[in-house]
Chains A and B, each alone.
Chain A
Amino acid sequence: MNPFDWNVVWYAIPYLAAGAVVTLELSALGMLFGTTVGVVAGLLSLSDYRLLRGIVRAYVYFVRGTPALVQVFLVYFAMPQLGLELSAFWSGVVALSFNAGGFIAEIVRSGLQSIDAGQTEAAKSIGMTNRQAILFILLPQSLRRITPPLTNEVITLVKSSSLLSVISISELTRSAQAIIAAKFTPFELYAELAVFYLVIISILAKASEYIERRLA
C-alpha cells in the first residue's frame, strides 16, 4: 500500500482552485438562468391556458424522467444539430439551467399551491385576474416556503456541475482528473476534490440559512 502523498495534495491546490472558479461560474450562471426559467415555468403551470400548462408539464416530465448526464450530452450534441454553435462552457450552462429550471418549476408550483385557497378566493372576489392573484397575493406569500427547497436545488446544481467534466469543461472535477492522469494518485486527488466541494457547499448552506432568517 502506498503512503498518502501530501506533496501531490499541495501541488494540486492552485489547479483545483482554478477549476473551482470555473465550477462557481457555471453554478452562478446555471442558478441565474435556471431560477429564471423555473420561476416563469412555475408561474405558467398555474396559467388559465391549457396549452401553457401542458408545455410546462412536458418540460418538467422530461427533466425529472431523464438522467442529468443524458441531458448534458443531449444539449452538447443537439445544439450544433439545431445550428447553435456554443462553446462547451455555454453548453454546460444551458444544460445546468435546463435541468435546474425543471426542478425549480416544481418547487415554485408546489409553493404557490400550498397557500390557502381562501387567499385566491379573496383575490378573485376583489376582481383580480388569475395572473394578478398569483403575482400579488400567492407569490409573495410563498417566497418563504420556496426558499428552503430552492437552496437545496442550488446545492444539487453545484454538485451536478461535476457532470460537465464529460464534455471537457475544465471545472473542478475535470481539473482533479487531469492531475490524476499525470500523477496516478486517485485517492489523494478525489479526497482533496471532496474537500473542495464540501467547502463550497458549506459556504452556500450558510448563505441560505442567512437568507431564510432574513425572510422569516
Chain B
Amino acid sequence: MTATGMMGPPLLRIRGLSKVFADIPVLDRVDLDVARGEVVMVIGPSGAGKSTLLRCINRIETPTTGEVVLDGINMAGTIRGGRLVSDSPSETARKRQRIGMVFQRFNLFAHLSALDNVAIGPHRVLRIARAEARNQAASHLDRVRLSAHMTKRPAQLSGGQQQRVAIARALAMSPTLMLFDEPTSALDPELVGEVLTVIRDLARDGMTMLVVTHEMTFARDVGTRLLFMDGGRVVEDRTPSAFFDQPESDRARAFLRRMNERQTVAAD
C-alpha cells in the first residue's frame, strides 16, 4: 500500500484526518501510514493542505475529524472503558513533546540566545537541570554546525543559521517524528543549501520525517517517499523517482510543469 512496503505496525497512522475552516475542507479525509525511518516529502500547490496536515498531526491545529496515532498513542485522547476520552490541554502538550516541528519562519524565541533556545525545552518541559540542559544543547548546536554562535540572539543570526538553531531546538526533545513545514521557503537562495544539508544528515541518521517543501531536487534526492497533495487530499503517494519521472495525475503533471517554468524563468 505504500511505495516502500512496510513491516510491522506503522510509527504514524492517520485515518480520515480533516480540517474544515469556514465550511471549506482545507484537509479532506487524509489516510496515511508512515513507517519508522521513512522520509516523506510532501509537495503540492499552495492551499493544498500540506501545512495543515503537519499542524493537525501535532495538534497545533485541532483537526475537525479523524485520528492520528503515533507509536500506538492516540494524539487526541485516551481509550477508557472502550471509548476515547479527550485529553486535557496539558496531556496534549505532553504527547506533543514526541513530535518535533520546524517552521517556515523559524519562530526562534526572540529573547533567548541560540543556546537557551535549544536548552529551554529540556529544562522547562523535561525538567532537566539547567546546566545539564545547556550542555546537551551545546552538542545539538554542534550537530547543526553552530558551535560558534551559541551566545547570539536570533536577530544576530542569518536565516539559515536561525533555521538550524530551530532544528536543534526540536532535536533536543528527542522526538520520534520530525515535521518540517517549508523549512527553506523564507530563506535567501544562497542559504537554502546549509539547511537542506542538515535535514539530509538527519534523514541519513534514520530520523522519521515529513517534509513540506518546494525544493524538487531535494525532494527527489532525499525523500524515500513522496506525497503529492491538492485540494486537501493526497493525490499521489509513490517513490520520488517514480513520481517525477511519470506523474500519474493531470494535477501533478500541471503542477510539475508550473514548477519547471518557474525554474526556467529563474535561470534566465
Seen from chain A, the residues whose Cβ lies within 8 Å of a Cβ on chain B are 48, 116, 118-119, 121-130, 132, 136-137, 140-141
Tell me which residues across on chain B come within 8 A of A127, comparing CB atoms.
Answer: 93-94, 96-97, 121, 125, 173
Chain B facing A: main interface SS: mixed
Contacts of B124 in A (CB 8 A): 128, 132, 136
- Interface size of B as a range: 20 to 34
List residues of chain B with CB under 8 Å of any chain A CB. Answer: 58, 60, 89-90, 93-94, 96-97, 99-101, 103, 105, 107-111, 120-121, 124-125, 166, 169-170, 172-173
Distance from B113 Cβ to chain A, minimum over Cβ atoms (Å): 13
Minimum C-beta distance from A34 to chain B (A) = 26
Residues of A with C-beta under 8 A to B173: 126-127
Q: Point out the residue from A121, A132, A136, A140 that lies within 8 Å of B103, measured CB to CB.
A: A121
B107 and A126: CB pair below 8 A?
no
**CA distance in complex: A129, B124 (Å):** 10
Q: A121-B60, A124-B60, A136-B124 are in contact. Are A129 and B89 (CB under 8 A)?
A: yes
Q: Which of A118, A119, A121, A126 contacts B169 (CB 8 A)?
A: A126
Contacts of A140 in B (CB 8 A): 111
| Given A125-B60, A128-B93, A128-B121: A119 in contact with B109 (beta carbons within 8 A) | yes
Contacting residue for A121 out of B107, B110, B170, CB 8 A: B107
Taking CB atoms, residues of chain A closer than 8 Å to B109 are 119, 122-123, 137, 141
- A118-B107, A119-B109, A137-B109 given; A125·B100 CB < 8 A: yes
A141 to B155, CA, bound (A): 14
Q: Of A119, A125, A137, which one neighbours B170 at CB under 8 angstroms?
A: A125
Q: Is the CB of A126 within 8 A of B125?
A: yes
Flag if B105 contacts A126 (CB, 8 Å).
no
Chain A residues with CB under 8 Å of B110's CB are 119, 141
Considering the chains assembled together, what is the distance between the CA atoms of A141 and B153 in angstroms?
13
What CA separation (Å) do A136 and B60 show in the bound complex? 18
B169 contact set on A, CB distance < 8 A: 122, 126
Give CA–CA (A193, B60) in the complex, Å.
56
Determine if B111 and A129 form an interchain contact, defined as CB atoms under 8 angstroms apart: no
Residues of B within 8 Å of A141, CB to CB, are 109-111
CA distance A206 to B108 in the complex (A): 34
Separation of A58 and B13 alpha carbons in the complex (Å): 44
CB < 8 Å neighbour of A124 from B96, B108, B111, B170? B96
Closest residue on chain B to residue A135 by CB atoms: B124
Q: How far is the CA of A127 from the CA of B95 in the complex (A)?
A: 7
* Most interface-central of B96, B100, B105, B111 (chain A CB within 10 A): B111
Identify the interface centre among B101, B105, B124, B172: most chain A CB within 10 Å of its CB: B124
Q: How far is the CA of A81 from the CA of B93 in the complex (A)?
A: 46
* Bound form: Cα–Cα A69–B170 in Å: 53
- Say yes or no: A126 contacts B97, CB within 8 Å: yes
Shortest C-beta distance, B207 to chain A (Å), equals 16
Asked whether B103 lies within 8 Å of A129 as measured between CB atoms, the reply is: no
Q: Is the CB of A118 within 8 A of B90?
A: no
Q: Is the CB of A122 within 8 A of B107?
A: yes
Contact of B58 among A125, A128, A129, A137 (CB under 8 A): A125
Whether A128 contacts B125 in the complex (CB less than 8 A), given A118-B103, A118-B105, comes out as yes
Q: Could you say which of B93, B110, B169, B172 has the most chain A C-beta atoms within 10 Å of its C-beta? A: B93
Residues of A within 8 A of B90 (CB): 129
Contacts of B166 in A (CB 8 A): 122
Provide the bound-state CA to CA distance between A184 and B173, in Å: 74
Among residues of A, the one whose C-beta sits closest to the C-beta of B98 is A127
Docked complex Cα distance between A137 and B60 (Å): 16
Which residues of chain B have C-beta atoms less than 8 A from A126's C-beta?
Answer: 97, 100, 120-121, 125, 169-170, 172-173
- Please name all residues of chain A whose beta carbon is closer than 8 Å to the beta carbon of B172 when the two chains form the complex: 126
Having A118-B105, A128-B93, A136-B120, one finds 11 other A-B pairs with CB under 8 Å, namely A122-B107, A122-B166, A122-B169, A124-B96, A126-B100, A126-B169, A127-B97, A130-B89, A130-B93, A137-B109, A141-B109
